Structure 1
Amino acid sequence: MTDPHTVTTLAEPLIQIGMSLPEIKWPYLVSLTRLSLALALGLLIGLERERRGKEAGLRTFSLIALLGAMGGTLGDNYAYLILFLTGILTVFLNVQRLRTNDSSELTTSAAMLITCVAGILCGKGHTATPASIIVIVTALLAWKDRLTGFSLGLTENEMRSALLLAILAIVIYPALPTGSIGPWNLIEPRGAWVTVILIAGIGFVNYVLWKMYGTRGIVMAGFLGGLVNSSVTVSELASRAKDNQRDTVSAAYRGILLATAAMIIRNGALLLILAPSAALTATIPFALMLLINAGWFFFDANARQKATGDSSQPVDLPLPFALGAALKYGLLFLILHIAGVIAQQSMGEGGFYAVSLIGGVVSSASAVAAAASLLTGGSIPAHVASTGAVIASLASVLINLPLVLRAHNRALTFRLTIAMMSISVVGIMGAFLAKPLLSFVMAEFPVLLQFN
């Protein structure tokens, strides 16, 4: 017969290493919420694996997520134990797979381990982190065919461009000094390098969209790029139209118009958020510019629909981006930034307009934000801030004209010159008419004064 004292003595080491069940009463709703989140995430990724016909499917991933959540709730030792057991399960899955088939389930095994870790995070009370991880992993698993096809089609030059972009953003940018440096603190290395990264990034995204969606990708990249930097986007789209093919040239034309419209919308939204009183005065010129822009865009779309015998031809894609062009644009940004700071310090209201003009050439969003900041600080009145925002936007429109020359296409250059000039003219007219029209409206409708 076994001595009870001996049993107790044998159990003591297990208690000392912390593997005994914690005597803790968890709140019911908190525990239920954590387990439910883990179960939902396991069902999500398991559903994708089940649809693919994998051996580890809906039930397996749900149980792994629940196990991880229980381990995270019980403590670190149990979490490590459950993660170790999940690793053994993945080994067993691959051994069985190799016995019955020629291939292993490495992707599913990695997904099982990630699901277990996400469950542990849920058990510890995390919500956004495990949910984001599982959604990303599920997306990667669901887009297997598209990602595989895209990666197999990559050339050596495309891979080199991707690595170069990563070096620009991840290696060089963090090494640059923060803030202003040099004489009179006129140089901002990181600000100039952000422009280089922006040019390279927009070019790369434009290339990927073009490769995946054809000429439709140019139009998509036009609007998205215009929200970031319309001048860089216009320069990039113009360079894509060098092949002089009808589809490419028309897509570049519409993409440039969309980039211009996105810039105007972004600047108007910034002014409305940061300085509503100035946005009220700028509404008329911005609205007129958008109206003319939309007219040119839909006119081209209708003309294409009425065209006959317009067969698409294969497009010869150039490289994602040119490092030399990106570096030149970054140097130009740095020079204009220094000139803008000097002008603002040496002149008054005229200096502000000069800075707005220069800022519109480099980054109209920065110029609009600066105008709103000066208005909020009481340095300039509302109508001056509004005029500065309009000047910056007009400068951003007009700077597109020399950038379009990169296309080396007379027809595209002529059409965009007409479009940009007409947009600029109505913007200038709106800027001159905005103040008297606003005064007339305020006189007729005094109730609107509370918004000014």
Structure 2
Amino acid sequence: MSSLSALLLQGTDVVSAPLSSNVVRLILAALLGMFLGLEREWSEKSAGIRTFSLTSLVAAVFALVATESALGVALLAVGAVLVVVQGILLAVNGMLEEGSGLSLTTSMSLMAAYGVGTLVALGYTLQGVTVAVVSSLLLVLKRELHGLAGRLDREELRSTAEFAILAFVAYPLLPAESYTMYGVTIDSPRVAWLMVVTVAGIGIVNYAVVQQYGGRGIAVTGFFGGLASSSAVVGTMLDHVRQHPDAYRYGVAAVLLADVAMAVRNLGIAIAFTATNTALLGVVLPLGSLAVGGVVAAWYAADWGEQVDIPLESPFSLRNALAFGFVFLLILVVGTVAQSRLGTLGLYASSFVSGFVSSAGATTTAVLLFRSGSIGSTAATVAILLATASSVLVKVLLGLAGPRQFTRSVTAWSLGLLAVVGVLTGVFVVVGVV
């Protein structure tokens, strides 16, 4: 009886013992490998969920052993060689069975799974998860990526290469330290250029989405079209409602969703580039409310039976990227000088005016000034909100050129949203939540 009690007590100790970090890493590696193998399993490839999961798990085991002994390093290297050999065999087998030529996707995916397991086991969890997610997206979006590549002409391909060179070759050449202009310290030019490239990248991604799914519904037309170019959305909707006055509800909803896209983009810029400092959490409630309210308003306003294509100008253009960079630089200089000469009110005025041209540029300017310590979180938050509000108002002004019903609805919904967001923000400020 005493031996049985001892066994039960030992079992209790095992169950209550916390999982070690190594065990958690092994489990995570296997799960990420399984995640990578889902698409291959769905596509009925020879390597599926189990193969990918085991590949990541074996890599994690070898990597953990490698941290303790030289034998583990050898095992990790041998495992990598075996994965490469297995990938080659799978590629040749696929070519013989399908007769459609050499396909290396599954082979490269297995190598990615091995790399993910290694990264996770060595403690690079975020990097491993990032590789797994990006690799999975590349597998799932095969049709969309091939379709986009097929629609690009030679000029766009050349411009893409030029933009990539300018974006990623110029980045390390720019100074990383801050500098002072008119007595105001500006954050590093390298960070400023990264923000320009980020905004340009958002435009490219959303151009691809609209090209692939454009005309298939108001969500794509308004939201993703608005992320690529909100002015293009308004212009297209004006033309559409002039030709089809009865379809004005579709146009109103598209404009509202363009506002939602703009708010989400500005919120993302404000949070992402201040996460390492004290994040600008004050923008979350106002911009989040504008985004949610815009979606609700668009839902009620939309005519879901309408479908419209938006002719967007290709973002695969070095000229367009440099044009945005110039606008951003101009807004940055104006905002800096205004803040230096006129104080916080000067910054607010320049942000509001800049929002009529580019709320993204005004937002990045406020973020850079905040990062450098030139302005506080309150001033940066107000500047971003003013730029966002003026961007909403400029769509109202552009909408005045449309039919009466369209103009009236856009004005009412837009001003109503701004009023609700303003009241909510004011209430939360008073009670001390924001």
Measured after TM superposition, the shift of residue 142 of structure 1 is 3.5
Q: Indicate yes or no: 2:27 matched with 1:41.
A: no
Of 136, 141, 144 in structure 2, the residue corresponding to residue 143 of structure 1 is 141
**Match status 1:71 vs 2:84:** no
Indicate the SS of the match to 2:402: helix
Within 5 Å, which residues of 2 pair with 1:251-262?
253-261=252-260
Change (3 A) 1:81 1:51: same
Per the normalisation by structure 1, the TM-score is 0.62
The yes-or-no answer on 1:57 pairing with 2:55 is no
Alpha-carbon distance change, 367 to 113 in structure 1, aligned in 2, over 3 angstroms: closer
Partner of 1:24 in structure 2?
none
Give the corresponding residue for 2:332. Answer: 337
Amino acid at match of 1:68: A
1:388-407 pair list within 5 angstroms: 391-400=386-395, 404=398
- How far apart, CA to CA, are the structure 1 residues paired with 2:165 and 2:94? 40
Q: Which residue of 1 aligns with 2:213?
A: 213
| Equivalent residue number for residue 167 of structure 1 | 165
Percent of pairs with identical residues: 29
Q: Provide the C-alpha distance between the structure 1 equivalents of 2:395 and 2:54, rounded to a whole number of angstroms.
A: 57
Deviation at 1:69, TM superposition (A): 2.7
Indicate how the Cα distance of structure 1 residues 294 and 218 shifts in structure 2: closer, same or farther if over 3 A, else same: closer
Contact kept, 8 Å, 2:214 with 2:308, in 1: the verdict is: no
Match of residue 346 from structure 1: 341
Which deviates the most, 179-188 or 341-350? 179-188
**Match of 1:235, as an amino acid?**
S
Residue 234 of structure 1, aligned match among 205, 230, 233:
230
The 2-side partners of 1:426 and 1:100 are apart by: 59
Amino acid at match of 1:113: M
Q: Deviations over 1:105-162 (max 9, x none)?
A: 5222222223233333344444333343234333333433443344334433443453
Pair 1:89-2:80 in alignment: no
- After superposition, the C-alpha distances for 1:140-196 in whole angstroms (9 at most, x for unaligned) are 334334433443344334434533442343233443445447776799866875676
Distance 1:181 1:81 in 2: 54
Indicate how the Cα distance of structure 1 residues 210 and 314 shifts in structure 2: closer, same or farther if over 3 A, else same: closer
Change (3 A) 1:54 1:176: same
Q: CA deviation at 1:80?
A: 0.7
Amino acid at match of 1:55: S
- Give the residue type in structure 2 aligned to 1:170: F
Structure 1's 172 and 399: CA in aligned 2 closer, same or farther, altered over 3 A?
Answer: farther
1:411 CA displacement: 2.6
Letter in 2 for 1:78: L
Alignment of 1:279-428 (within 5 A): 297=298, 300-302=301-303, 318-320=313-315, 323-324=318-319, 326-347=321-342, 350-351=345-346, 353-361=348-356, 362-363=358-359, 365=363, 391-400=386-395, 404=398, 410-411=401-402, 415=406, 419-420=410-411, 423=414
Q: Which moved more, 1:414-423 or 1:152-161?
A: 414-423
Residues of 2 paired with 1:92 and 1:389: CA distance?
Answer: 55
2:116 is the counterpart of 1:115 = no
CA gap of 1:352–1:425, structure 2 versus 1, over 3 A, is farther
Aligned length: 392
Conserved in 2, the CA contact under 8 Å of 1:180 and 1:186?
yes
Deviation at 1:413, TM superposition (A): 10
Q: Which sections of structure 2, spanning at least 5 residues, go unmatched?
A: 1-17, 66-71, 272-278
Q: What runs of 5+ residues in structure 1 fail to find an aligned partner?
A: 1-26, 443-447
Q: Which amino acid aligns with 1:52?
A: S
Pairwise CA distance, 1:301: 1.7
For residue 317 of structure 1, report the CA deviation from its aligned partner: 6.1
Deviates more, 1:257-266 or 1:133-142: 257-266
Shift of 1:94: 4.5
Distance in 1 between the 2:113 and 2:233 partners? 42
Q: Are the aligned partners of 1:360 and 1:393 in contact in 2 as well (CA < 8 Å)?
A: yes
Measured in 1, the distance between the counterparts of 2:22 and 2:343 equals 63
**SS of residue matched to 2:302:** helix
Contact 2:355 2:391 in 1 (8 A): yes
Q: C-alpha separation between the residues in 1 aligned to 2:431 and 2:95?
A: 77
Cα RMSD after superposing both structures: 5.4
| Deviation by residue 1:396-422 (Cα, 9 ceiling, x = unmatched) | 3344467x49xxx94379945973588
Q: 1:401 to 1:201 in 2, by over 3 A?
A: farther
Contact 1:111–1:137 at 8 Å: present in 2 too? yes
Distance 1:223 1:173, change over 3 A: farther
Change (3 A) 1:193 1:55: closer
Q: Call closer, same or farther: CA 1:125–1:342 in 2, change over 3 Å.
A: closer
Tell me the distance in 1 between the aligned counterparts of 2:22 and 2:97. Answer: 40
For residues 404 and 193 of structure 2, what CA distance do their matches in structure 1 show? 30
Q: Deviations over 1:49-104 (max 9, x none)?
A: 34433333344434433432332233212111222233333344455556666444
1:290 shift after superposition: 8.8
Corresponding position of 1:204: 204
CA distance in 1, matches of 2:123, 2:194: 37
SS at match of 1:319: coil
Aligned partners of 1:122, 1:290: CA distance in 2, in Å? 36
CA shift in 2, pair 1:217/1:323, >3 Å: farther
- Cα displacement (A) at 1:343: 3.0
Contact in 2 for aligned 1:340/1:355 (Cα 8 Å): yes
